[in-house]
Chain A
Amino acid sequence: MTAFAAVLSRDLRLTLRHGADTLAALLFFVLTAALFPLAIGPAPETLGRMAPGIVWVCALLAALLPLDRLFGADFEDGSLDQLLLSGLSPAAIALAKAIAHWLVTGLPLLIAAAPLALMLRMPDVAMLALLAGLLPGTMLLSLLGTAGAALVLGARRGGVLLPLLVLPLAAPVLIFGVAAADAASGDLSPRPHVLLLAALLAAALPLCPLAAGAALRSAVE
């Protein structure tokens, strides 16, 4: 447990030092979402209807941005060897990385989503459903992204490969997340969609770190 906390705090400290990298994902999210009203036009009914989709797609892409450095820097400077020799199982290391990714990317995206939804004229009921979906959704993206980042580690075109690998896996997250917000704005219950996201999270929580751990082991060989 001490080792797990040590890995997590080390990662958080490193991300804070590289503040610009961390802010980049958030800025990307806000800026791309802010472009949509300019492109589509400011009519409230069109924007409001498209808002859940806009927020979700932008959040998904923003969460992908910091992924190639998630293990990449540690892999290149030899720190990954030291992490694997810390006595933690590789799966635990991957889980710590996923939690760190969520804390510095997923959580800020979740917080920024509310004012963004407001800006896009999303109805109030839909906004609550959107945030309820984003909470397990961003966690899922962190877990899937960690597994993807570990898998492409050491590959020559890792940065290109990563979205190709993660985006198909993230498609269900996108579908159920947007469906939850759409259901709420159509006076239906968003509950089944949010529950499905929670079920996906329950499956990904053990599986993604295990897959990422196995990938880390083979990456250092």
Chain B
Amino acid sequence: MLQASGLAAFRGERLVFRDLDFALEAGGALLLTGPNGAGKSTLLRLLGGLLRPAAGTLTWDGADALADLPAHAQRVAYVGHQDAVKPALTAAENLGFAARLTGGAVHDALEAVGLEELADLPARMLSAGQRRRLALARLVLSRAPLWLLDEPTLGLDAASVQRFGSMLEAHRAAGGLTIAATHLPLPVAEAEELALLSTPPPLAGGGWGEGAAGPLPPPLNPLPHGAGE
């Protein structure tokens, strides 16, 4: 269903990964693992169409997925490492935007993450874990077949992780695809794993931000020329 071949991406001037191939069928789950800065978040943003690949192709049902970005966005539900929660709005209002796009019910989504009691509380009163759950509630509202999750269980308690597990299961049973970047064990059965390495070129520091703080070791192999931007 989703097929990637030869994907490569830059962050700023640095090549974070290249020659990445994988394929995912309906109901499949792919876990991205690897050290900090290996490009897990970058790959997720690339798959969501937020970032242009420097090389390689991504196909969905055989057609180029990134050719029509607004259409690709309809296929994608993305939970980034930021929660995208507005502190001034209540929990229910925060989901209102996603609900208006898909026509789902806000109350059901809040119930799925166990926040129905706090629906009318301003999001600034929520704890970090509750805010994360609010971000995950967006997945319930979305009808997108491809879930892209960046550290989805960060800050969640055991009960919430379990609830998230059943959300994932239902999504996969309905034929949905899941790609998650994580350092924590996820409640997901029979997932494939894709290990990203902190190679080409060897990097100091994280994959985000502009330029690493410390002195960079000289690249072992020069960057391939003409590989995109």
Q: Using CB atoms and an 8 Å cutoff, list the residues of chain A in contact with chain B.
A: 2-3, 5-7, 9-10, 13-14, 17-18, 77-79, 81-82, 84-89, 220-221
Contact = CB atoms under 8 A, between A and B. Distances in A.
Main secondary structure of the interface of A (DSSP, over half): helix
B70 interface: yes
Interface in B1-20: none
Contact of A17 (B71, B78, B89, B138): B89
A23 to B, nearest CB: 15
Interface string B67-99: 000110110111011111110110001001110
> Interface size for chain B: under 10, 10 to 19, 20 to 34, or 35 or more residues?
20 to 34
B85 to A, nearest CB: 7
B101 interface: yes
B101 A2 contact: yes
A81 B150 CA distance: 13
A10 B50 contact: no
B118 interface: no
B48 interface: yes
Interface in B115-150: 138
Contacts of A77: 82-86
A220 B48 CA distance: 12
Contacts, number: 69
A221 B50 contact: yes
B52 interface: yes
A87 B80 contact: no
B51 interface: yes
B96 A10 contact: yes
Q: Please name the 8 residue pairs, one residue from A and one from B, whose CB atoms are nearest each other, closest first.
A: A78-B82, A78-B84, A17-B88, A6-B100, A85-B73, A79-B84, A10-B97, A87-B74
Contacts of B88: 14, 17-18
A89 B70 contact: yes
Given A2-B100, A6-B97, A85 B50 contact: yes
A150 to B, nearest CB: 15
A87 B71 CA distance: 6
A43 B90 CA distance: 52
A81 B89 contact: no
A203 to B, nearest CB: 25
Contacts of A6: 97, 100-101
Given A10-B97, A77-B82, A88 B70 contact: yes
Given A79-B84, A79-B86, A87 B101 contact: yes
A128 B52 CA distance: 50
Nearest to B229: A221
A29 B85 CA distance: 32
A85 B77 CA distance: 8
A155 to B, nearest CB: 11
A77 B89 CA distance: 14
Nearest to A74: B84
A81 B70 contact: no
Contacts of A81: 45, 48, 50, 78, 80, 82, 84
Nearest to B83: A78
Nearest to B74: A87
